[in-house]
Amino acid sequence: MAVISSPSTTIKYIKAIIADFFWGKDLDKRKYHWASLGTMCLPCAEGGLGIRRLLDICTSLQYKQWWSFWSKVSLWSHFLKSKYCQRAHPIAKKVNIGQFLMWKYMMKNKIKVEEHIGWRINSGSCSFWWDDWLGVGALANYTTSVSSLNNATVAHFLVDGKWDERKLRQQLLVVWSEVVECIERCNQEKRVTLVMWKTPPPNRYKLNTDGSALHNPGKIGGGGILRNEQGVIIFAFSIPLGEGTNNQVEVQAACYGLNWCIQHGYNNIILEVDSELLTKWLL
């Protein structure tokens, strides 16, 4: 029972043996049913004998499997984590065809067990999104934008025992109360703005560039495209630019495109960007 849930036929057979023990097992005499097995399984305070139901025993042992897997360091837990949880967090995993039967039972019972498991921060090794360290349930239950591959720990957001607000803002992009307030104040009608690319005048070229940063600051990359008066593509590029900010990458992408044009003899260039700040700098 501690390894795998017993078949229903086995449970019924064991129940019959227990019933024969209490009711007597004399083939020549009629058995006297003192009480039903369900009544005997009730607590003594409720008129039973306090006998544990076999189904409850099986369920509790299955729950204990999840707790042992999650809280103890053992060869068994290490094997399961290596086999099924190399990338995704165990709580975020779903049952798939071909998985070990015991693992399927653990996946089935984990949600029920997790409702009764709480974590203390201490060293911060518990999961920021998937463990209940706030006492209100896992934070992943309150949003649909968290990937199952997000294994960030609480310690990742702590610096010298204090919260790193920059990292928290990167993960918690919006505060719901602020979103609600914005929705209540939004009385503007829906408007559609048509954005069109216009060809450059005759004998001129148009260079469009753009840049983006993974974080601000963070890894940055830029790109651009050069077209003639007929809209035909002359040159296009997309390159990584190291580390920097959003404004920095906008400038670098524009400089890269202009340098290429100069080196290859393309003059009369019209530079078009989507950064208002860069436009003001150039003007």
- Residue 100 and residue 19 share a domain: yes
Domain count, the chain: 3
5: CB partners within 8 A, 6+ apart = 58, 62, 105
pLDDT in the model for residue 175? 47
* Average pLDDT of every residue of the chain: 80
Nearest of 182, 194, 258, 192 to residue 224 by alpha carbon: 258
pLDDT in the model for residue 153? 86
For residue 123, what are the domain limits? 119-187
Least confidently predicted of 93-97, 140-144, 220-224, 261-265: 140-144
- Residue 19 and residue 85 share a domain: yes
- Residue 110 and residue 18 share a domain: yes
Residue 80 lies in a domain: yes
pLDDT bucket at 68, cuts 50 / 70 / 90: confident
pLDDT in the model for residue 225? 95
- Residue 126 and residue 213 share a domain: no
Whether residue 130 contacts residue 140, with contact meaning beta carbons closer than 8 Å, is answered with yes
Least confidently predicted of 154-158, 190-194, 225-229: 190-194
pLDDT bucket at 35, cuts 50 / 70 / 90: low
The residue out of 65, 81, 114 marking a domain boundary is 114
pLDDT bucket at 228, cuts 50 / 70 / 90: very high
Whether residue 148 contacts residue 89, with contact meaning beta carbons closer than 8 Å, is answered with yes
Distance CA 139, CA 154 (A): 12
Higher pLDDT, 8 or 223: 223
Residue 257 lies in a domain: yes
pLDDT bucket at 84, cuts 50 / 70 / 90: confident
pLDDT bucket at 233, cuts 50 / 70 / 90: very high
- Residue 140 and residue 86 share a domain: no
Task: Flag whether pLDDT at 254 surpasses 80.
Answer: yes
Torsion sign (Cα): 138, 141, 145, 149: positive
- Residue 108 and residue 135 share a domain: no
Distance CA 142, CA 140 (A): 5
- Residue 99 and residue 60 share a domain: yes
Higher pLDDT, 69 or 141: 69
Average pLDDT over every residue of 193-208? 91
Percent with pLDDT over 70 in the chain: 81
Q: Which residues face 226 on adjacent strands?
A: 207, 235
Residue 240 lies in a domain: yes
- Residue 129 and residue 165 share a domain: yes
Distance CA 128, CA 117 (A): 15
Helix axes 54-71, 8-23, angle to 10 degrees: 130
- Residue 172 and residue 223 share a domain: no
Average pLDDT over every residue of 204-222? 90
Instruction: Find the CATH number of the domain harbouring 218.
Output: 3.30.420.10
pLDDT in the model for residue 207? 95
Task: Flag whether pLDDT at 212 surpasses 50.
Answer: yes
Residue 103 lies in a domain: yes
Residue 200 lies in a domain: no
* Three-state SS sequence of the chain: CCCCCCCHHHHHHHHHHHHHHHHCCCCCCCCCCCCCHHHHCCCHHHCCCCCCCHHHHHHHHHHHHHHHHHHCCCHHHHHHHHHHCCCCCHHHCCCCCCCCHHHHHHHHHHHHHHCCCCCCCCCCCCECCCCCCCCCCCHHHHCCCCCCCCCCEHHHHEECCEECHHHHHHHCCCCHHHHHHHHHHCCCCCCCCCCCCCCCCCCCEEEEEEEEECCCCEEEEEEEEEECCCCCEEEEEEEEEEEECHHHHHHHHHHHHHHHHHHCCCCCEEEECCCHHHHHHHC
- Residue 96 and residue 22 share a domain: yes
Task: Flag whether pLDDT at 43 surpasses 50.
Answer: yes
pLDDT bucket at 260, cuts 50 / 70 / 90: very high
- Residue 128 and residue 98 share a domain: no
Per-residue pLDDT tens over the stretch 160-194:
888 888 887 777 654 455 555 555 555 556 778 88
Residue 169 lies in a domain: yes
Higher pLDDT, 16 or 124: 124
Whether residue 179 contacts residue 213, with contact meaning beta carbons closer than 8 Å, is answered with no
